Amino acid sequence: MNKNMTSQIIDIIIFGATGYTGQCVVEQCARINNFSWAIAGRNVNKLREVLTNIYTKTGKDVTQVEIIVADVDDQKSINAMTKKGKVIINCTGPYRFYGESVVKACIEEGIHYVDVTGEPEFMEKMQLKYHDLAKTSGSYVVSACGMDSVPADIGVIHFMKNFNGQVNYVEAYMALTVNTNKIVEPFLNYTTWESAVHALANMNSLRSIRKQLFSKYDIVKLLPSIPRRSVIHRSELCENKYCLPFQGSDRSVVLRTQMFLTKEWNLRPIQCNVYLVCRSAFTLCALLIIGFFLQVLSKFEFGRKLLLKYSHIFSLGVVSRNGPTAESRQNSLFTMKFYGEGWSKDMLKEKDDLKTISEPTDSYMVTAVEIPDAGYGFTSICAVQCALIILNEFDKLPPGGGVYTPGAAFYRTSLIETLAENGFQYKILHTGHK
Ligand SMILES: NC(=O)c1ccc[n+]([C@@H]2O[C@H](COP(=O)([O-])OP(=O)(O)OC[C@H]3O[C@@H](n4cnc5c(N)ncnc54)[C@H](OP(=O)(O)O)[C@@H]3O)[C@@H](O)[C@H]2O)c1
């Protein structure tokens, strides 16, 4: 059904359109406005209000935009919603609670699915449980199409495609700055914090899902290994600032993409680590304190209640129940720098099997991308562009449908160029021989 959809079917349905992220996605659709779109959620009055606000903000005529009522607690309503569209952009979260029924309905109805989750357990569970079913129905299910984890995942793909030879490893360093006179400016909406608290509480179940999922891949030890860094290290790449391993979904998404590329297209997988750069020693201490609260308190129910009830306090002010202010979004800049090493083409001439290269690497490259308003502006643009690519570049997706990371789904598409056209360009800063 998905490939022969009639023209009356709506191109994109934004589910969870009343949420903070959902409204940003609606705004993007209204601004682009060269495809049909509808909004969906559980509260019709709130949905009407969203359209009124979008009209005030953009001046675009939204009177023809259909409103669809659907609630994740009512599976029939979710299936009825998905039947009306070609791609659903799911903006309800935490995804561990609200995501699966939408994925399931999309696959049952042969519809495509995009979301902006940063929850590895949800993504990997969906891949484990639904990949084969999605292949049967021809649905594409692509998670993590926002700030988590497109900059990192597509950044590594950009690196692979532009490196003059074979990449061995990439280290990604991410930094977020909010240019403000205040000591702290909230830049995260409460639901993202809630998602993180539950993700940390359920690390054991992630391990068990991961074990089952990864057993389907032939994982080989790659040499030379990616450098091992101490938990806190300083990086010359980032003006010698303090760096910590990033605890979010980026690394796991990149590695899943690499496993896919190896399995399906026999490419040598790229080792990757992702680090968070701290602006100052003060920021480092603040992050360690927040991390400590999250790690310790998320492990038991009363602790989770405290973390959720007093999110503003435990996040040291970066989380707000009203979402980040327009000012903090405007003044925020996310940068991701990639340093990687590999073997130049000249050196590889004699090689037949790329997986067994044991000689030291001889070349390096540094790339970077800068993203203003990454959490919500970039996330919403990226989600819409990913949905449009599914519609417009269907023949460049991995054949037959399935549950994918962005890098796996969009490896052959124009996503890198599309991001550049929208102001998010990956740049090559240096290349050289070691
Ligand atoms: N990865 C990234 O870079 C990134 C960026 C932004 C957001 N996110 C993720 O996106 C998710 C949403 O974040 P947010 O800040 O937009 O959250 P939010 O403002 O709280 O919005 C949540 C949405 O889910 C809807 N919802 C909740 N329960 C529902 C149900 N039973 N049936 C139907 N809809 C339901 C809400 O509808 P009502 O309005 O009716 O309550 C609302 O539309 C979170 O998981 C967050 O982590 C990720």
How large is the average pLDDT for residues 75-103?
A: 97
Q: What average pLDDT does this structure show over 252-266?
A: 94
Residue 406 placed within a domain: no
Identify whether residues 133 and 163 lie together within a single domain: no
Same-domain status, 67 and 120: yes
What does the pLDDT average to over 79-103? 97
Among 115, 142, 169, the domain boundary falls at 142
Q: Per residue in 130-159, pLDDT tens?
A: 999 999 999 999 999 999 999 999 999 999
pLDDT exceeds 50 at position 33:
yes
Q: Is residue 9 domain-shared with residue 128, that is, in the same domain? A: yes
In the chain, what percentage of residues exceed pLDDT 90?
87
**pLDDT > 90? residue 434:** no
The CATH number covering residue 120 comes to 3.40.50.720
Q: Average the pLDDT over 295-303 and give the result.
A: 96
Residue 307 lies in a domain: yes
Final residue of a structural domain among 142, 163, 195: 142
Provide the pLDDT for residue 1: 42
Average pLDDT in the chain: 94
Tell me how many domains the chain contains: 2
H or E stretch including 392? helix 379-392
Q: What is the CATH number of the domain that holds 357?
A: 3.30.360
Ligand 1 contact via 189 beta carbon (within 6 Å): yes
Atom of ligand 1 nearest to the CA of 189: 15
Q: Directed axis angle between helix 150-162 and helix 250-265, to 10°? A: 40
Give distance in angstroms: CA of 98 to centre of ligand 1. Answer: 9
pLDDT at site 255 = 96
Distance in angstroms between the alpha carbons of the first and the last residue of the chain = 53
Determine the Cα–Cα distance for residues 379 and 254; give it in Å rounded to an integer: 17
Structure-token pair, residue 76 = 């029939």
Chain CA centroid to CA 346, Å:
35
Label residue 335 by pLDDT band (50, 70, 90). very high
Tell whether ligand 1 has an atom less than 6 A from the beta carbon of residue 171. no
Residue type, 30: A
Torsion region of 373: left, alpha or beta (phi above 0 gives left; psi -120 to 50 gives alpha): left
User: Are residues 135 and 200 located together in one domain of the fold?
Assistant: no
Same domain, 284 and 179: yes
Average pLDDT over residues 206-233: 91
pLDDT at position 220 is: 79
Lowest mean pLDDT among 52-66, 127-141, 167-181, 393-407: 167-181
pLDDT above 50 for 102: yes
The number of beta carbons lying within 10 Å of the beta carbon of residue 136 is 14
Give the model confidence (pLDDT) of 393-429 as tens digits. 999 999 999 999 999 999 999 999 999 999 999 999 9
Instruction: Tell me whether residue 189 is in a domain.
Output: yes
Task: Fill in the amino acid letter for 9.
Answer: I
Ligand 1 centre to CA of 416 (Å) is: 27
pLDDT at 222: 86
In the numeric block, which tokens belong to residue 280? 């100052």
186 band by pLDDT with thresholds 50, 70 and 90? confident
Q: Does residue 24 lie within any of the structural domains?
A: yes
Q: Are residues 135 and 7 in the same domain?
A: yes
- Distance from the CA of 224 to the center of ligand 1, in angstroms? 42
Which of 192, 247, 311, 386 most suits a substitution to test ligand 1, by most atoms within 8 Å of the C-beta?
Answer: 192
Task: Work out the pLDDT band at 351, boundaries 50, 70, 90.
Answer: low
Biggest CA–CA distance in the chain, Å, is 67
- Identify the domain boundary among 101, 120, 142: 142
Determine contact, residues 344/358, Cβ cutoff 8 Å: no
Question: What amino acid is encoded at 425 in this protein?
Answer: Q
At 180, the pLDDT band (50, 70, 90 cuts) reads: confident
Check: CB of residue 203 under 8 Å from CB of residue 209.
no
Q: Is the pLDDT of residue 17 over 60?
A: yes
pLDDT of residue 218: 80
**16: domain range?**
2-142
Residue 350 pLDDT class (50, 70, 90 cuts) = low
Q: Work out the pLDDT band at 2, boundaries 50, 70, 90.
A: very low
In a domain, 292, yes or no: yes
Note the pLDDT of residue 359.
Answer: 85
For the beta carbon of residue 253, count every other beta carbon within 10 angstroms: 28
Report the distance separating Cα 69 and Cα 78, nearest Å.
9
Q: Find the mean pLDDT for residues 233-249.
A: 95
- What number of residues does the chain have? 434
Q: Tell me the CA–centroid distance for residue 68 and ligand 1, in Å.
A: 16
Of 50-64, 229-243, 289-303, 348-362, the one with minimum mean pLDDT is 348-362
Residue 398 lies in a domain: no
Q: How confident is the model at residue 4 (pLDDT cuts 50, 70, 90)?
A: very low
User: Do 52 and 78 reside in the same domain of the chain?
Assistant: yes
Residue 216: the pLDDT is 85
Does residue 184 carry a pLDDT above 80?
Answer: no
What's the 83 CA to ligand 1 centre distance in angstroms? 21
Ligand 1, atom 21, lies closest to the CA of 19
Q: Are 386 and 408 in contact (CB under 8 A)?
A: no
Shared-domain flag, residues 59 and 201: no
- Tell me if 274 is assigned to some domain: yes
Ligand 1 mean position to 259 CA, how many Å? Answer: 30
Residue 311, classed as helix, strand or coil, is: helix
- Which pLDDT score, from 0 to 100, does residue 183 have? 65
**Closest ligand 1 atom to 115 CA:** 10
Is the pLDDT at 7 greater than 60? The verdict is no
The answer to the question of residue 112 being in a domain is yes
* Residue 115 and residue 210 in one domain: no
